[in-house]
Amino acid sequence: MSETNYLTTDYTLRSWFLTTDHKRIAILYFASLIFFFFIGGAAATVIRIELATPQGDLVSSDTYNRLFTMHGIIMVWFFLIPSIPNTLGNFIVPLMIGARDLAFPRLNLMSWYIFMLGGCTTLFAIFAGGIDTGWTFYTPFSTLYSNSYVILAAAGVFIAGFSSILTGLNFIVSIHRLRAPGLTWYRLPLFLWSLYATSVILVLATPVLAITLLLIATERFFGVGIFDPRIGGDPLLFQHLFWFYSHPAVYIMILPGMGVINELISCFSRKEVFGYKFVAWASLAIAAVGFLVWGHHMFVSGQSLVASLVFSFMSFIVAVPSAIKVFNWTATLHKGLLRFDAPMLYALGFIGLFTIGGLTGLFLACLAYDVHATDTYFVVAHFHYIMVGGMVTAYFGGLHYWWPKITGRLYSEHWARAAAVLIFFGFNLTFFPQFILGAEGMPRRYHIYPPEFQVWNVLSSGGAAILALAYLMPLFYLGYSAFFGPRAPANPWDAPGLEWQTSSPPPEHNFATQPVVTRKPYQYNRNFQAEPQNA
């Protein structure tokens, strides 16, 4: 290679662990997240094996409770929330806005260290004996009754929260201040709009989680009961505070996925995203209205009727912008020149799975049906359709799409397509039966269950086995390609975005000369060839 790129500037460990290059930090995050993903996945595997039979014959109830708690905490805070923003986002945002780095590179590195500190604290809590409160930390169980490492696990999540905040802050400021000349707001790729919306939530919701966890830890440590019913405290206050963060956190997890899908759909249809402004503003609408719906987790908790009505109403409203996005993606395909490379397969899978997840969300927003469905497997199936079917699928799609840019190598298209198809089938087999289980009334977090639910559980466990294998496949073919794959050209997909106009992998400061943007994103000419944003 004649020129050096960000991977070849320096090979020392120091150059990686003290780097302020957003691309290298993205790689650090990527490696950490794979680690956490497989830990959380391992817990899920044991859970699914256990649930293949109605009796509790593999692990004890205490172990089972620790397993699903660990699965939830690791997957939510140490995989899903940082997944797309901190890996793909970190790598792509400065390239997409034509900047040499994020606004605060050292803060970016610090955020990774904070994240790792939080992750290690949580892992320590898990391996020291575990935590059995569920990822929701509901009081008074977590504060007065649980005999597990609640404070330590909460501390881990608390610490990781600061990493979220710093990432969000960095993205917001970078997108405001570091855009290349000519890159107006309506010329931003939609991935950036969705990451901007995500960052708003990260910055404004995470601190509420921080203070809530702090109150939990204080209550547990000092025995003062701010949520303790015995001195007049209200456990529902905890739930309000918790869901003020945790419902918007769902949008933290899905919005970046939606952002990726825009890039994929447009590139592989060789067409502009239909209704650009609607899709862009829909992201911000989801971020804003997403803050007004948290009480739909509490319809049967004893909150007031008025509150339930308002929250149910808002929950229906927040579904509108999501619907807008799905319709616009579908319309984008119209009269395109569709190529079904692996990223596109993931994108199409995302649309289907996300729509099922979104529609079943309406069931749960619907007051009378939620009374039956809440806290059953219906909820489990619903949010896995959004989180795994939506977010993880989009993450894999984005990863395949930008892989040549990140590593400078091409992966095996055959293996990638096979994995995409297998993931799609494994996923549906795992989680669709859970809708039926939930509708029939099987509560969630059950270690032992009545035998009539077994058929669907066996199907689900079988699907989980396929899904687990399918998730392992990319580890091998992507891992192989990173070292031995053929060299990638700068723009293997012939896409118009700024990130494709620099070499693969990009040089240390991204662009040899400052790009000047002259047109809207996603432009293709009559012959379906990309028209670069900066030409």
Partner 1 sequence: MWRQWIPFWQPGLSPQSGDVDLLFAGLLIASAVVLGLLFFLLTLFCVRYRSGNQTDREHRVAKSWHWEVGWTAASLVGFLGLFVWGASVYFEMYKTPADELDVFVVAKQWMWKTQHPGGQAEINALHVPVKRPVRLVMASQDVIHSFFIPALRLKHDVVPGRYQDLEIEVDRPGQYHLFCAEYCGTDHSGMIGEIVAMEPADFSNWLAQQAPSSPLAAEGGALFRELGCSGCHGNGSKVRAPPLEGVYGRPVPLSDGSTVIADDKYIRDSILLPRSQIVASYEPLMPSFEGKVSEDQLLRLVMYIKSLAGRSS
Partner 2 sequence: MTERRPPLPLVGAWLGLLALLALTVTLAYVPLGAGNAIVALSIGTIKAGLVAAIFMELRHRSGLTLVFAGAGLFWLGILLWLGLMDFMTRT
Partner 3 sequence: MPERAAFAPQYASVPHRDNTAELGMWVFIATEVLLFGGLILAYFVYRHAFLQGFAEGSRHTDIVIGTTNTAVLLTSSFLVAWAVEVFSPDTARLSAWLLTGAACLGLFFIVLKGIEYSKEYDEHLVPGVDFQFAGPLANGVQLFFIFYFVATAIHALHMLIGICLLTTLAAICRKAPTARHHTALHSAALYWHFVDVVWIFLFALIYLPGRSSS
Site string for partner 3, 380-419 (x = CB under 8 A): ----------------------------------------
Residues numbered 240-299 forming contacts with partner 1, rule: CB under 8 A:
269, 271-272, 274-278
Our finding on whether 26 is near partner 3 (CB under 8 A) is no
3-state secondary structure 50-113: HCCCCCCCCCCHHHHHHHHHHHHHHHHHHHHHHHHHHHHHHHHHHHHCCCCCCCCHHHHHHHHH
Q: Which residues contact 136 (CB under 8 A, 6 or more apart)?
A: 72, 242, 246
C-alpha span between 56 and 67 (Å, rounded): 13
Stretch that binds partner 3, among 29-37, 127-135, 212-220, 262-270 (CB under 8 A): 212-220
Q: How far is the CB of 224 from partner 3 (least distance, A)?
A: 4
Q: How far is the CB of 456 from partner 1 (least distance, A)?
A: 9
Stretch that binds partner 1, among 232-240, 461-469, 476-484, 503-511 (CB under 8 A): 232-240
C-alpha span between 521 and 273 (Å, rounded): 9
Q: How far is the CB of 324 from partner 1 (least distance, A)?
A: 6
C-alpha span between 531 and 521 (Å, rounded): 9
Alpha-carbon distances, residue 153 vs 124, 167, 338, 515 (angstroms): 8, 22, 47, 45
Q: How far is the CB of 170 from partner 3 (least distance, A)?
A: 8
Beta bridge partners of 524: 530
Tally Cβ neighbours within 10 Å of residue 60: 10
- 129 vs 302 by CB, closer to partner 1: 302
C-alpha span between 349 and 398 (Å, rounded): 13
C-alpha span between 291 and 302 (Å, rounded): 21
Nearest Cα to 206, choosing from 260, 169, 261? 169
Select from partner 3, partner 1, partner 2, none the partner in contact with residue 296, using the beta carbon and a kind-dependent cut-off of 5 to 8 Å: none
- CA–chain centroid gap for 137, Å, is 21
C-alpha span between 193 and 411 (Å, rounded): 29
Our finding on whether 13 is near partner 3 (CB under 8 A) is no
Our finding on whether 226 is near partner 3 (CB under 8 A) is yes
Residues numbered 150-179 forming contacts with partner 2, rule: CB under 8 A:
176
**Alpha carbons within 13 A on the beta-carbon side of 349:** 30
Our finding on whether 58 is near partner 1 (CB under 8 A) is no
Our finding on whether 369 is near partner 1 (CB under 8 A) is yes
Binding residue count for partner 3, defined by CB under 8 A: 44
Our finding on whether 10 is near partner 2 (CB under 8 A) is no
Stretch that binds partner 3, among 84-92, 118-126, 166-174, 263-271 (CB under 8 A): 166-174
Nearest Cα to 105, choosing from 1, 42, 25? 25
Our finding on whether 432 is near partner 1 (CB under 8 A) is no
Q: How far is the CB of 7 from partner 1 (least distance, A)?
A: 33
Our finding on whether 339 is near partner 1 (CB under 8 A) is yes
Our finding on whether 356 is near partner 1 (CB under 8 A) is yes
**Alpha carbons within 13 A on the beta-carbon side of 321:** 24
Binding residue count for partner 2, defined by CB under 8 A: 21
The string of DSSP codes covering 445-473 is: S-SS--GGGHHHHHHHHHHHHHHHHHHHH
Q: How far is the CB of 50 from partner 1 (least distance, A)?
A: 11
- 64 vs 477 by CB, closer to partner 1: 64
Site string for partner 1, 117-156 (x = CB under 8 A): ---------------xxx-x-x-xx--xxx----------
- 228 vs 508 by CB, closer to partner 1: 228
The radius of gyration of the chain's CA atoms, rounded to the nearest angstrom, is 23
Q: In 190-293, which ranges are continuous DSSP H helix?
A: 190-222, 235-269, 276-289
Select from partner 3, partner 1, partner 2, none the partner in contact with residue 210, using the beta carbon and a kind-dependent cut-off of 5 to 8 Å: partner 3
Q: How far is the CB of 246 from partner 3 (least distance, A)?
A: 13
Select from partner 2, partner 3, partner 1, none the partner in contact with residue 178, using the beta carbon and a kind-dependent cut-off of 5 to 8 Å: partner 3
Kindly tell me which residue out of 58, 140, 234, 298 binds partner 3, with binding defined by CB under 8 A: 234
**Residue labelled with tokens 């007065």:** 144
Looking at this protein, which amino acid is placed at residue 133?
T
- Provide the phi-psi class of 375: left if phi over 0, else alpha when psi is between -120 and 50, else beta: left
Residues numbered 268-297 forming contacts with partner 2, rule: CB under 8 A:
291-292, 294-295
Select from partner 3, partner 1, partner 2, none the partner in contact with residue 311, using the beta carbon and a kind-dependent cut-off of 5 to 8 Å: partner 2
Looking at this protein, which amino acid is placed at residue 375?
D
Our finding on whether 360 is near partner 1 (CB under 8 A) is yes
Site string for partner 3, 86-115 (x = CB under 8 A): --------x----xxxxxxx----------
Q: Which residues contact 191 (CB under 8 A, 6 or more apart)?
A: 92, 96, 256, 259, 260, 262, 263
Nearest Cα to 387, choosing from 279, 251, 283, 290? 251
Site string for partner 2, 117-156 (x = CB under 8 A): ----------------------------------------
Q: In 339-453, which ranges are continuous DSSP H helix?
A: 342-365, 367-373, 377-384, 393-407, 413-440
Which residues would be at the binding site for partner 2 (CB under 8 A)?
Answer: 176, 200, 204, 208, 234, 236-237, 240-241, 244, 291-292, 294-295, 303-307, 310-311
Binding site for partner 3 (CB under 8 A): 94, 99-105, 165, 168-170, 172-173, 176-178, 203-208, 210-212, 214-215, 218, 221-226, 231-234, 237, 240-241, 244, 509
